[in-house]
Structure 1
Amino acid sequence: MKCSVTRVPINSPSDVLTLKEYVDQAVIHPGEVIAVLGKTEGNGCVNDFTRGYAVRSVQDFFAGYIGEKAKHISYVMSGGTEGILSPHLAVVSRNPVSEHLKYDRKSLAIGVAKTPEFLPEEIGRLTQVEQVAAAVKRAIYEAGITDNADVHFVQVKCPLLTTEHLRDASSRSVTVVTEDTYKSMGYSRGASALGVAIALEEIAAADLKEADICQDWEQYSFVASTSAGSELNYCEVIVFGNSDCAEGPFYIDHDVMKDSIDADVLRKLLAKHEEDEWVQVLAKAEADPTGYVRNRRHTMLNDSDINHTRHARAVVGGVLASVCGDPMIYVSGGAEHQGPAGGGPVAVIFKRGMKS
């Protein structure tokens, strides 16, 4: 296979004009698209309907070219472009036709998978952990990745609890992980991240208890990025890694920020691959649950007007954009069990230069 990622700027959640230009110019081939990863300009909270709006707009666009096959593309929209983050789409393509472009390094390999739909009482609990772990393993297999060390970023779009879900659970006399719809986003993100960690053997499934979800911050994944939304009731999984089975100039590498101002992580990644062009930066943002960053108190967790995930996106987005020089990057808020507490994974997709 030959995988690639193309960034597409958008002027609104329904804007597909530049996407059409890229298709017309043969930069993007609709029949090769397997996933679309986007940043939309809503609040990123429970009532952010820009995510679903963007999914429908992009799906309808591709349906005009490939019909019903457009429904099989994985759509992951992360709401919230606070600060200087720029709304955009990252279109992920996979071409099974070999052009025999082999390099001395492994190339970008991408796999996608879906979990079954979840009942309200399963969201944020071990059932979700287990189903995500199984889906991640399927996506890894599809990508042709044979070593977990070659997985550098796993994006999961997961559901959250709405008032309708709470009403349904109550009518069946079953309990849910929380009756706070906003908190349910964190539980769903956390359960999904722990599923990634289990699939990659970063933690042991036997050691994980349901009570650990969003409680035991020592258990986390180094490569998970999870985003919750009301536009789906299952999980979309996209695995980014490198494989000998893949060809082409693209590849991916990652590291983990220790806190929200750890700009050195991205600097080191870019310096490590300075001979190559970076194509996209993918990162998670989190407000440190201790209330401190490098021994200085922050107030993100106590702001009743703006959710802490929004503060964190703005901070990390600004920090990383200042390093790479471009605000059109993917930064998702809420990093429960995604990197160490207060930190989060950062991955960069590169395109090999002439020196490679």
Structure 2
Amino acid sequence: MKTARVLRLSMAHPGDLSELARLIESGTVIASEVVAIIGKTEGNGGVNDFTRGYFTQTLMGLLSKHVGKPPEQLVREIPCVLSGGTEGVMSPHYHVFCISGADASARHHRSALAIGTAFSTPVAAEDVGRRAHVERVAAAVREAIKNAGIERADEVHFVQVKCPCVTVARASAAIAAGKTPLTSDPNKSMAFARAAGAFGVALALDEIKSGDFDDASLLSDFSIQSPRASISSGVEVECNEVVVLGNSASWGGDLRIAHRPMSDALDIGGIVRVLADLDIPASPQVSAVDAARIACVLVKCEPDRRGKIRGNRHTMLDDTDINAQRHIRGAVAGLVAGVVGDGRIFVSGGAEHQGPDGGGLIAVIASQQQG
């Protein structure tokens, strides 16, 4: 029987792994049991956000010293999914996901948090944002679900994918080779990559069928969405990195995950409901005792492309000084942090096809109460 552990650690700068280093050196964390990282760095979240690569390089160097594998190998084995941008009350942090063995006699709950990871093969520049990309993501998600030992799709609560995007250099190389990228604009490429990731998750979870979409559906048909997909994109990866989080009766431990859709950027009810699913009341804020049970908060959000929230105009999409994704991350982070009482929350923008249009989703991992 396997047991999942999740540690939420703070960072002083994008390359600060000192908290994890201390835990490994003290024996609290076994480096070989680290299977994935999901975190927030303080960059701009855009194409040129190199804080993500800086953190990843530092992480792989640290783990390499303890597991005896070169960083170049570890980066292909351990998904490191980072979202740039810690606007507002968000605090730079990272979640360390570990898997260890456990005695079956130590089981306390009917099911517990299960973790699965997978990597797709590299995605060519001309495939980013197209069906081939969608199918690569779907295959990797299915592999991660299998690796997690999750038997039913409805036991999957959150699927984090990191997708590659097309840089100007990658687009130029593809064109020179006679290939045609969907776009040569890196920012548009990130959006198409996120859309492909969301479609891939939906396909793997049987939320849509293969015949339900074509290439033109991406960033166009927003009736297609996955309420369990969280997709990021960046220049620091060449393949799709996948982390599946769900619950399984074959896993031990005290942690459990729940998720809910967020209908819009003001949906405080969605936050309260997902906490209630884990027997954590919020009235209006989670108590200090219950806050200590929360191991991880994962949120996707999107500025409503219709330009209104509950009938009132917003200006996020018209602001040429501040990117719309930075606006929405800061706004939603304030809403969520105000309820859970902690700024160490993963709030990622770019939620195209991920949860309701103009909204998103929230997932929470928390320890279960005994009894």
State which drifts further: 236-245 or 344-353: 344-353
Q: Alpha-carbon deviation of 1:305?
A: 2.1
Letter in structure 1 aligned against 2:7: T
Q: Could you tell me whether the CA contact under 8 Å between 1:286 and 1:335 is conserved in 2?
A: yes
Alpha-carbon distance in 1 for matches of 2:212, 2:274: 33
Q: Aligned ranges for residues 175-254 of structure 1 at < 5 Å?
A: 175-254=180-259
Q: Alpha-carbon deviation of 1:51?
A: 0.4
Q: Could you tell me whether the CA contact under 8 Å between 2:163 and 2:239 is conserved in 1?
A: yes
Calculate percent identity across the aligned residue pairs.
Answer: 42
Determine the structure 1 residue equivalent to 2:347: 331
Q: Alpha-carbon deviation of 1:239?
A: 0.1
Alpha-carbon distance in 1 for matches of 2:108, 2:222: 39
Q: Alpha-carbon deviation of 1:159?
A: 0.8
Determine the structure 2 residue equivalent to 1:54: 55
Letter in structure 2 aligned against 1:22: L
Q: Of residues 158, 161, 174 in structure 2, which corresponds to 1:156?
A: 161
Q: Aligned ranges for residues 35-50 of structure 1 at < 5 Å?
A: 35-50=36-51
Determine the structure 1 residue equivalent to 2:283: none
Question: Unaligned regions of 5+ residues in structure 1, if any?
Answer: none
Alpha-carbon distance in 2 for matches of 1:338, 1:109: 21
Letter in structure 2 aligned against 1:66: V
Q: Give yes or no for the alignment of 1:313 onto 2:317.
A: no
Q: Aligned ranges for residues 1-356 of structure 1 at < 5 Å?
A: 1-68=2-69, 70-71=74-75, 72-98=77-103, 100-274=105-279, 277-353=293-369, 355-356=370-371
Return structure 1 stretches of 4+ with deviation > 4 angstroms.
none
State which drifts further: 286-295 or 275-284: 275-284
Alpha-carbon distance in 2 for matches of 1:134, 1:272: 30
Alpha-carbon distance in 2 for matches of 1:313, 1:99: 41
Q: Could you tell me whether the CA contact under 8 Å between 2:109 and 2:252 is conserved in 1?
A: no
Determine the structure 1 residue equivalent to 2:284: none
> Deviations 1:171-200 (Å, cap 9, x if unpaired)?
123221112211111100010011000000
Letter in structure 2 aligned against 1:236: E
State which drifts further: 261-270 or 197-206: 261-270
Alpha-carbon distance in 2 for matches of 1:181, 1:29: 38
Q: Could you tell me whether the CA contact under 8 Å between 1:108 and 1:250 is conserved in 2?
A: yes
Letter in structure 2 aligned against 1:341: D
> Deviations 1:309-328 (Å, cap 9, x if unpaired)?
11111111111000100010
* TM-score normalised over the length of structure 1: 0.97
Q: Could you tell me whether the CA contact under 8 Å between 2:40 and 2:82 is conserved in 1?
A: yes
Q: Could you tell me whether the CA contact under 8 Å between 1:152 and 1:254 is conserved in 2?
A: yes
Q: Could you tell me whether the CA contact under 8 Å between 2:168 and 2:185 is conserved in 1?
A: no
Q: Alpha-carbon deviation of 1:261?
A: 1.4
> Deviations 1:262-311 (Å, cap 9, x if unpaired)?
11111122233236622111010110111111111111111222221111
Alpha-carbon distance in 1 for matches of 2:109, 2:296: 22
Alpha-carbon distance in 2 for matches of 1:6, 1:161: 33
Letter in structure 1 aligned against 2:314: H
Letter in structure 1 aligned against 2:365: I
Q: Could you tell me whether the CA contact under 8 Å between 1:155 and 1:225 is conserved in 2?
A: yes
Letter in structure 2 aligned against 1:205: S
Which secondary structure state, in structure 1, belongs to the residue aligned with residue 365 of structure 2? strand
> Deviations 1:188-235 (Å, cap 9, x if unpaired)?
001001100000011111111110001100001010000011101111
Letter in structure 2 aligned against 1:265: G
Letter in structure 2 aligned against 1:306: I
Letter in structure 1 aligned against 2:79: S
Q: Could you tell me whether the CA contact under 8 Å between 2:260 and 2:273 is conserved in 1?
A: no
Q: Alpha-carbon deviation of 1:82?
A: 1.0
Count, aligned residues:
355
Q: Alpha-carbon deviation of 1:99?
A: 5.1
Q: Alpha-carbon deviation of 1:101?
A: 2.4
The CA RMSD over aligned residues, in Å, is 1.3
Letter in structure 1 aligned against 2:15: S
Alpha-carbon distance in 2 for matches of 1:308, 1:27: 40
Which secondary structure state, in structure 2, belongs to the residue aligned with residue 127 of structure 1? helix
Alpha-carbon distance in 1 for matches of 2:90, 2:68: 32
> Deviations 1:91-130 (Å, cap 9, x if unpaired)?
0001134353223431100000011101110001111100
